[in-house]
């Protein structure tokens, strides 16, 4: 009788199905997300990946780009949530001012309402975009961001905490 590999499979179905399932699970865990299995193992062993690009003599690996992408996603999420919060506060303020019926201060109330509604529309436009900030998180966008960051460093542009707080409050 000739060798038939399907005979072995039919006799041990549970074992082979469990083995295939385990291989699929391990492959899924190690091969999804960031990079392939080889890169994952290098990260676990503490070795840094190969240089993906070189700008002004500085090498940037794929892991550096992943970190930059994660930072940009976090900043976008934070600003989107802040915009949602500010949008709700503006909506509440507009409703409260609209309810007031002070005839002697009608002109001031109308100017305030117009200004608040313009701010609310600006926030609504920002919220409707996929990313709060211009530029995305694709490789080309990250490289462009890194280039602009290096250019700002070269020009000596620094943002201290007070300026960042001012810019944030001005935006919101």
* Domain co-membership, 34 together with 114: no
**Rg of the Cα atoms in the chain:** 28
Are 25 and 106 within one domain?
A: no
Q: Indicate whether this model's pTM tops 0.85.
A: no
CA 4 to chain centre: 53
Please indicate, yes or no, whether residues 68 and 151 belong to a single structural domain of this protein: yes
Number of domains in the chain: 2
User: Is the confidence at residue 83, as pLDDT, over 80?
Assistant: yes
Residues 101, 18: one domain? Answer: no
Asked if 27 and 104 sit in the same domain, the reply is no
Beta-ladder partners of 55:
58
Over range 42-56, report the average pLDDT. 66
Same domain, yes or no: 108 and 150: yes
Taking the chain, what is the end-to-end CA distance rounded to the nearest angstrom?
Answer: 80
> 138 with 73, same domain?
yes
**61 and 31 assigned to the same domain:** no
Tell me the per-residue pLDDT of 51-79, one tens digit each, with 9 for 90 and over: 777 777 778 777 888 888 888 889 888 88
Comparison of pLDDT for 153 and 60, the residue scoring more:
153
Pick from 16-25, 35-44, 107-116, 122-131: least confident:
35-44
pLDDT for 166 beyond 80: yes
- pLDDT surpasses 70 at 94: yes
Domain that holds residue 24: 5-45
pLDDT digits (tens, 9 = 90+) for 33-42: 555 566 666 6
The verdict on 113 and 166 lying in the same domain is: yes
DSSP the chain: ----HHHHHHHTHHHHHHHHHHHHHHHHHHHSSSS-HHHHHHHHHTPPPPEEEEETTEEEEHHHHHHHHHHHHHHHHHHHHHHHHHHHHHHHHHHHHHH---STTHHHHHHHHHHHHHHHHHHHHHHHSSSSSSS-SSHHHHHHHHHHHHHHHHHT----HHHHHHHHHHH-
Higher local confidence (pLDDT), 166 or 30: 166
Please indicate, yes or no, whether residues 90 and 160 belong to a single structural domain of this protein: yes
């Amino acid at each position: 009788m000739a060798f038939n590999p399907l005979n072995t499979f039919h006799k041990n179905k549970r074992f082979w199905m469990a083995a295939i399932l385990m291989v699929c699970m391990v492959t899924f865990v190690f091969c999804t997300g960031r990079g392939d299995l080889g890169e994952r193992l290098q990260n676990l062993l503490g070795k840094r990946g190969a240089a993906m690009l070189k700008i002004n003599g500085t090498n940037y690996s794929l892991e550096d780009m992943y970190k930059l992408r994660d930072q940009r996603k976090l900043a976008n999420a934070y600003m989107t949530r802040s915009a949602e919060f500010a949008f709700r506060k503006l909506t509440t303020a507009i409703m409260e001012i609209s309810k007031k019926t002070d005839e002697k201060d009608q002109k001031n109330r109308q100017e305030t309402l117009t200004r608040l509604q313009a701010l609310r529309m600006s926030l609504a436009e920002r919220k409707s975009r996929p990313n709060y900030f211009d530029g995305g998180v694709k490789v080309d966008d990250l490289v462009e961001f890194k280039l602009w960051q290096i250019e700002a460093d070269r020009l000596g542009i620094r943002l201290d905490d007070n300026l960042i707080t001012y810019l944030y409050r001005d935006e919101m």
